[in-house]
Amino acid sequence: MFDYHHQNSLICKMEFFYKNYSIFRFCLLIKLTVCRALIIIKKRKDQFIDEILVIKMLG
């Protein structure tokens, strides 16, 4: 009985950890995606500004 309960609580702990780990990974993935998106937007924005400056200089 004790062994069963101990094993059960261990499984519960593992499930709890796994769920939290999944949430953590999910959050990390979102953060990375957002960071990448922001970097891309910033690069494009800088590139866009550079293009405008070049056009102004040529114009």
pLDDT in tens, 46-59: 888 888 888 888 87
Whether the pLDDT of residue 3 is over 70: the answer is no
pLDDT in tens, 16-41: 877 888 888 888 888 888 888 888 88
Domain boundaries, the chain: 33-58
Q: What is the DSSP string of 1-59?
A: -HHHHHHHHHHHHHHHHHHHHHHHHHHHHHHHHHHHHHHHHHHHHHHHHHHHHHHHHH-
27-33, long-range: CB within 8 Å, 24+ apart, which pairs?
none
Q: How many Å apart are CA 10 and CA 28, to the nearest integer?
A: 26
* Higher per-residue confidence, 50 vs 3: 50
Q: How confident is the model at residue 5 (pLDDT cuts 50, 70, 90)?
A: low
pTM: 0.47
